Chains A and B, each alone.
Chain A
């Protein structure tokens, strides 16, 4: 730098770079409440690839994994997030948000008004055992040495067997703390747990369905003779709670924004979500992954969330006791 003018110009260029590096990019982050490699993670990564085309200014979208407590950790972060400009989208299963809001309202606390964009898939209420599992009927699971595998207590992998345990009065154990679907099914294959409910294995060859918790209440049982849970619950009030549990447990890959996000931002994302679902390039990529696809709109999720928030106290108490 031989002259002060050159030095000045170079400094000005650097300041410009600094300003540009902070101001020019309009980035969006999708935070996923589970580790990489799971279904939610793949939904998020495909959305990050295709969603920008349907958003104003086509912002670059990045995926960040924030696993912990079956998605509850990220939910807590979303509930307390300060950014309301749509720069961060949160993704967990719907059941994590719904279970939490029921606990909050039961404790007399205000329910955080999450702003839902939409869901990509639906979790199944199927229970899986090893392909050579001896379980062939409901009586086979009523033992204290039967173990169900689950991740966090907020996860559907826990709430489903917990509800079954409450209704059947069964003494079986629920092992919590597995890091995700892959680890759950690895434990199932190793024989460390006997059943895994609410999550599907990536490869079904080593496993078989041993039951389904919910079924249209037509009295039918599954192919191995285990009655659907809904068919066992005879109390109408209990049945109503179970139906709600079933509906709120289904949506997975649910994207939402923090409370107080303005309507305009939410609507922009919902429109983009609708356009994404119809996009042939997105559909082709999704088909290659072979993961399930059953989208639910943000409006539907918001209605369901509102229903959960406004449960009457008796139902709320029943819900909590079933999923304890």
Chain B
């Protein structure tokens, strides 16, 4: 009780509340900008926290970390572009709602779910404090392995009607995640001798390419009349918030997922989100008229939003209990622990208990403050949804390009963005599940590591562990149920896979070739480095081969299926425009610097859309100014020296001209 009172008295100190407020405002800004996320924010704030006392330092850091997944909903719903990786799932149903003019309802529900989820996560942390260490220490590596594998079950949920495509996309994601130096032997895996790839593919850039770029292209593809058709209103937002409260069971269920899975080190927010989404998508709706998942279902927003805010409390559990960070941003928080002379472990529950309790209070307060600010300002920001695509798209393209460049400040960031975006665009056009690929990308290395550790540390066969046995049992039940559904075909919600077309076979053939190439490349590596990726390659080859075979069988004796999605008749102009915009912006970053690049990109796009030059340049100026504030003043980004500021041009002149 004394510790609670001490913590309370420390938390309400004006300096701590000021720091908490500063952290929350900064976190909300970080969440809104696509391409930068909580780790970026934490890296920036960490050095500032050194000069503060521990309570103020953690108020600042936790204030920031707790709310990025609240504000990242705003661009996800309004523009179809996730602010952070934590909002990818929200796009799936949030953006279709915005297209129906229900953006305020969606945002209201998302904010309320985030608030309750965040408070739930803090409550879980508080209630587990006395048993924090025993609970975490009772879990073995094999249990972590089983929990991560459980995440893979939900690939079936996000795969759409064709599980085979889901499996292939999952394996491809896994294969991409193995690019880089392997963690045990430091062998080069699938790097093709590119040093940039030693560090693997940067997750931020991969996710921007996978989700943000294709959504921007789809924005351009839609006719303007169907874009948005309602005025934003605070009333609708509060209505959405009330609806979320009515769905308290979903919030509770998803918050449990967020806080429990968040406590498993290495499992990122993407897995948590898809898991919560998948659980909800599998449940039968109470209202038979509600839209399907993926077409603007409110439950599809409430579930991931409550889970991804509840996770923060979960992340703190292993971080505080045993010093193993629950997420990359928690790893940075651990640095702050050490800088302030705090040691995670038993002392956090004895001599440092007031600080631990203050964490709970800071998370709770940050969620209340963050949601309040969002509810106040989002109705104004919702006007973004009414802006024409010609205004928003070039700005988004510029911000995404600048955001991608944050990963490593390397030309490789741009190449990865373009390559992944191209792949994602093909997947989108052919209706292959990008979500499955993202799950494979996130879970691949985590499962590989836990698998090896479990193999080495488990006495007796892995199957003897209760968690693994349960996993296998659940897997069998899922498979049997899926088979029964396919046989009975009486489930109205179980859509049949669309008949595969030749373009699917072509893509599957490319995947098959990639898998075979990867297998031969991996064969030269030590066994620790090749075992897991090789298994994934074989699975990928199998799934891709089956897809090819299926096309062959279905087309035998019948006329070839005309694929209306891609081909000569398809309008590829939006794709070309977006890719040209990214390329132009990136080239200009190197040539003239980042802000002239934004200015030029937005101006040129405005002119192409038929805007008068003065309007286009005004918008471009605003966009460049905004980017400057975000990336230079707040972000302190290291940009490459632009060609025009070097002696490049001077060197081209004859020597006597230079002397003059």
Contact = CB atoms under 8 A, between A and B. Distances in A.
Contact of B345 (A22, A27, A179, A206): A206
B332 A36 contact: yes
A232 interface: no
Interface stretch (B63-71, B119-127, B177-185, B416-424): B177-185
B140 to A, nearest CB: 6
Nearest to A96: B186
A107 B618 CA distance: 62
Interface in A165-208: 173, 175-179, 182-183, 185-187, 189-190, 192-193, 202-203, 205-206
Nearest to B643: A22
Contacts of A70: 186
B233 interface: no
Contacts of B323: 37, 182, 185-186, 202
Given A14-B596, A49-B50, A190-B137, A175 B456 contact: yes
A283 interface: no
Interface residues of B, number: 69
B186 A21 contact: no
Contacts of B617: 1, 7, 10-11
A68 B595 contact: no
A153 B182 CA distance: 11
B343 A73 contact: no
A112 interface: no
B453 A177 contact: yes
Binding site secondary structure of chain B: helix
Contact of B185 (A29, A65, A153): A153
Interface stretch (A134-142, A284-292, A294-302): A284-292
A197 to B, nearest CB: 16
Interface stretch (B301-309, B333-341, B361-369, B495-503): B333-341
A65 B345 CA distance: 23
Nearest to A205: B346
Contact of B181 (A17, A76, A179, A206): A76
Contact of A183 (B47, B324, B339, B637): B324
A266 interface: no
B199 A77 contact: yes
Contacts of A27: 638
B587 to A, nearest CB: 13
A148 to B, nearest CB: 11
Contacts of A66: 199
Contacts of B340: 288
Contacts of B265: 183
Contacts of B343: 202-203, 290
Given A10-B621, A147-B457, A291-B338, A2 B639 contact: no
A70 B181 CA distance: 11
Interface residues of A, number: 66
Contacts of A177: 183-184, 449, 452-453, 456
B347 interface: yes
B74 interface: no
B345 A152 contact: no
A21 B639 contact: yes
A42 interface: yes
A212 interface: no
Given A7-B614, A45-B339, A206-B346, A73 B140 contact: no
Nearest to A48: B47
Given A73-B181, A192-B141, A203 B195 contact: no
A14 to B, nearest CB: 5
A68 B335 CA distance: 18
Contacts of B335: 36-37, 41-42, 45
Interface of B: 43, 46-47, 50, 136-141, 180-186, 195, 198-199, 265, 322-325, 328, 331-332, 334-335, 337-341, 343-347, 449, 452-453, 456-457, 528, 592-597, 599, 614, 617-618, 621, 624, 628, 632, 636-642, 644-645
Given A42-B335, A68-B186, A202-B343, 14 more contacts: A1-B614, A15-B593, A19-B644, A22-B641, A36-B328, A41-B338, A48-B47, A70-B186, A72-B186, A73-B180, A176-B184, A176-B528, A190-B137, A289-B338
Interface of A: 1-2, 7, 10-11, 14-15, 17-23, 25, 27, 29, 35-37, 41-42, 45-46, 48-49, 60, 62, 65-66, 68-70, 72-73, 76-77, 80, 147, 152-154, 173, 175-179, 182-183, 185-187, 189-190, 192-193, 202-203, 205-206, 285, 288-291
15 contacts: A11-B599, A17-B593, A22-B645, A45-B335, A48-B47, A68-B180, A69-B181, A73-B180, A177-B449, A178-B453, A182-B344, A187-B141, A192-B457, A202-B323, A288-B339
Q: Would you list the 6 A-B pairs with minimal beta carbon distance, nearest first?
A: A18-B593, A37-B334, A69-B186, A72-B186, A182-B323, A19-B645
